[in-house]
């Protein structure tokens, strides 16, 4: 009789909650599966189950289980819908998450706006996020004011063009990196490519087309020249990500705190 009590619903629920709080998400998943089997109509348990799958890093299992629990995903309860969408975000399926949330029948309109904006922000689409957030007033959602402020901050940050960086380094080696404020690498690139080009010129000027020295220095210089163009493009992309990282982290913290 005592053993039976250990495995009744309330004790099992307490054990599942303990596992979740202690970070034992894989074990917690099994317990919530058992609880959901005991009470298959309990939406709170379903949301907790999807949360445990997400926290355990089992994203595909979370999506599969979500579809089993709610064959019609549009009718998924709001908290389960948030968890399901979060998994899609973690899998970088941003548009799928946005479309899923917009189609859900149980999420409030303000939540849908915030969730859709989050999907755009995680893609660095601050113009789209700004447009979406224009449809909500600060008093309509706890996150609205902060989301709007942070989106405006990110939108005002001047992005660097990878194409411009590449073209600049193609014309004058190193200037593409300087364009993205990578001064040290820019100067090194400029000096190194110039030195290699000068040494190659000296070799060919002295010994003609058969100059071994000219071909060696020329080959090294060309390789570094092409690598510098590629590196300048990559640096511009990295600069854009880095300058928006603090905003994204703040948005991420707000999202996780509220949802």
Percent of the chain with pLDDT over 90: 53
**Lowest-pLDDT range of 10-14, 62-66, 204-208:** 204-208
pLDDT reported for residue 5: 54
Coil/strand/helix, residue 156: helix
In whole angstroms, give the CA distance from residue 177 to residue 216.
25
- Tens digits of residue pLDDT in 230-253: 988 988 888 877 877 888 888 889
- Tens digits of residue pLDDT in 32-51: 999 999 999 999 999 999 99
Structural domain boundaries in the chain: 1-101, 108-156, 162-246
If 0-12 CB within 10 Å is exposed, 13-18 middle and 19+ buried, where does residue 61 land? middle
- Tens digits of residue pLDDT in 143-154: 999 999 999 888
Q: Which residues contact 166 (CB under 8 A, 6 or more apart)?
A: 176, 229, 230, 232, 233, 236
pLDDT reported for residue 16: 92
Mean of pLDDT over the chain: 89
Residue 4 pLDDT > 70: no
Residue 211 pLDDT > 80: yes
pLDDT reported for residue 2: 45
If 0-12 CB within 10 Å is exposed, 13-18 middle and 19+ buried, where does residue 128 land? middle
pLDDT reported for residue 7: 66
Q: How many CB atoms lie within 10 A of CB 82?
A: 21
Is the pTM value of this prediction over 0.85? no
CATH topology of domain 1-101: 1.25.40
Residue pair 153/247 in contact (Cβ under 8 Å)? The answer is yes
pLDDT reported for residue 30: 93
In whole angstroms, give the CA distance from residue 166 to residue 228.
8
**b/e string for 174-190 if b means 16 or more Cβ within 10 A?**
bbbbbbbebeebbeebb
Q: How far apart are the first and last CA of the chain?
A: 40
Which two structure tokens, joined as six digits, stand for 149? 């402020």
For 34, how many CA atoms within 13 A lie in the half-sphere containing its CB? Answer: 15
- Residue 1: pLDDT band (50, 70, 90) is very low
């Amino acid at each position: 009789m005592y053993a039976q009590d250990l495995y009744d619903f309330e004790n099992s629920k307490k054990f599942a909650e303990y596992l979740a709080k202690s970070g034992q998400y894989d074990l917690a998943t099994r317990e919530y599966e058992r609880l959901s089997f005991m009470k298959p109509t309990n939406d709170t348990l379903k949301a907790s189950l999807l949360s445990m799958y997400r926290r355990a890093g089992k994203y595909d299992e979370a999506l599969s289980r979500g579809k089993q629990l709610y064959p019609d995903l549009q009718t998924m309860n709001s908290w389960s819908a948030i968890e399901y969408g979060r998994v899609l975000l973690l899998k970088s399926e941003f548009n799928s998450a946005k479309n899923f949330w917009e189609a859900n029948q149980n999420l409030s309109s303000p939540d849908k706006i915030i969730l859709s904006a989050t999907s755009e922000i995680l893609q660095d689409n601050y113009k789209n996020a700004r447009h979406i957030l224009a449809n909500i007033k600060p008093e309509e959602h706890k996150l609205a004011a902060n989301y709007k402020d942070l989106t405006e901050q990110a939108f005002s940050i001047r992005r660097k063009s990878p194409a411009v960086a590449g073209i600049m380094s193609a014309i004058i080696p190193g200037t593409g990196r300087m364009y993205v404020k990578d001064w040290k690498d820019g100067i090194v690139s400029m000096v190194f490519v110039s030195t290699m080009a000068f040494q190659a010129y000296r070799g060919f000027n002295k010994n003609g087309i058969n100059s071994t020295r000219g071909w060696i220095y020329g080959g090294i210089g060309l390789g570094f020249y092409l690598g510098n163009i590629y590196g300048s493009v990559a640096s511009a992309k990295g600069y854009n990500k880095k300058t928006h990282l603090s905003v994204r982290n703040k948005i991420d913290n707000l999202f996780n705190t509220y949802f």
